[in-house]
Structures are given as C-alpha cells and as structure tokens.
C-alpha cells in the first residue's frame, strides 16, 4: 500500500472517531456475512458505529491520544466499536451481542485512558454505571442524609399533630378526654 493511501486512511480514521477518547475492539472473524450485517444494523440503531481498522495505521493515527492503549490488543482482524453516550453502553450492547453471536471476540476497551483487556475486561466494563447513572447515584448519596434528617425532625412533630387531631375529633364528638 502506498504512503499517500496510508495517510488518507489515517485521516479517515481520525475523522470517523473525531473526539472520541473511548472505544472497544472486537474481532468479527468468526461471524458470517449475514450475521455481521445483523450485528451492525442492530448497533447502528443505538448510535454505535463499527469500523474495521488496520492495526498499524490505527496505532499511527491514535498513538498520542486516549485511544493509544488499544494498540496492545490490536492483533489479527479487528473492528472498532464506538459511539452512543459512553463506551460503557457500547460494552453492554456488545456483551449482549456475544450471547447471540458467540463468534464475536471481545478483545478490549479503553475508558479514560484505562485499558480493559480481553473478554473479562470488557464484561467488567459493561457492569460500570453510565455517566448519567453515576450522577444519579451521587445525587442520591448527597441528598440521602438530608432527607433522613428532615424525616427525623418531622417525626415527633407529626406524632404531636396526630395526637392533637385525635383530641380535637373527640372534643367535637363530645367525648371525654382521659387524663394521663
């Protein structure tokens, strides 16, 4: 392959991934053509793109970026899966696809510059919370003690209010109130 063609492919990889710093590497070698199309169309519906990459050209294109750790898992025929809201969502979808199509090989993923290598690494990544889920968990942790404190403050007051309401109802009915 000529040098201008290689440079053009490198630019294309950079244009396709844009500012994505997280991606997942899969092997589709054991998947037939029809299954490959089914996988790609299913992922495309979820805004996940799959791009077949040449290992050396990918390493040259992203050697100085957050995707650089993926060079360690680029052996043999590879495809790069990226997109959606985060690589965690991509990992979840790909892990679900592996159950239907066991020919798909999970090679690795990178999240914030950290490499999750192999099948076990990608499956572990798929169990991480997404960004929105993590924010919701943080908000719940922050608001939890405050809501418990408010509940503790309201508890005795609501008990007294209940007693006063009972006394009021008894007086309206003309019943006698027992001394305590």
CA distances from 74 to 33, 79, 163 (A): 22, 9, 72
3-state helix, strand, coil in the chain (%, to 5): 60, 15, 25
Distance CA 89, CA 78 (A): 20
**Tens-level pLDDT at each residue, the chain (180 residues):** 788 888 888 888 888 887 778 888 888 887 888 888 888 888 888 888 888 888 888 888 887 787 888 888 888 888 888 887 888 888 888 888 888 888 888 888 888 888 888 888 888 888 887 777 778 878 888 877 777 777 777 777 777 878 888 888 888 888 777 776
Per-residue confidence (pLDDT) for residue 180, from 0 to 100: 60
CB 109 within 8 A of CB 24: yes
Query: Strand 78-83's sheet: what is its strand order?
Result: 48-53, 78-83, 23-27, 105-111, 114-117
Distance CA 71, CA 63 (A): 8
Residues β-bridged to residue 95? none
CB 103 within 8 A of CB 96: no
Question: By three-state DSSP, how is residue 156 classified?
Answer: helix
Name the token pair of 49.
């793109």
CB neighbour list of residue 75: distance below 8 Å, 6 or more residues apart: 55, 107
Distance CA 135, CA 116 (A): 22
Distance CA 111, CA 46 (A): 19
- What length does the chain have? 180
């Amino acid at each position: 392959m000529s040098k201008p063609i290689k440079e053009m492919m490198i630019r294309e990889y950079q244009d396709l991934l844009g500012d994505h710093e997280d991606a997942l590497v899969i092997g589709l070698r054991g998947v037939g053509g029809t299954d490959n199309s089914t996988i790609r169309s299913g992922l495309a519906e979820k805004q996940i793109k799959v791009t077949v990459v040449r290992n050396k050209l990918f390493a040259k294109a992203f050697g100085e970026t957050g995707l650089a750790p993926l060079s360690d898992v680029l052996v043999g025929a590879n495809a790069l899966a990226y997109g959606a809201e985060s690589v965690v969502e991509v990992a979840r979808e790909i892990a679900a696809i592996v159950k239907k199509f066991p020919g798909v090989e999970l090679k690795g993923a990178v999240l914030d510059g950290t490499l999750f290598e192999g099948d076990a690494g990608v499956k572990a990544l798929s169990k991480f919370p997404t960004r929105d889920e993590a924010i919701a968990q943080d908000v719940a942790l922050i608001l939890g003690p405050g809501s418990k404190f408010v509940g503790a403050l309201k508890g005795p007051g609501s008990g007294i209010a209940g007693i006063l309401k009972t006394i009021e109802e008894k007086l309206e009915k003309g019943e006698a109130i027992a001394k305590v």
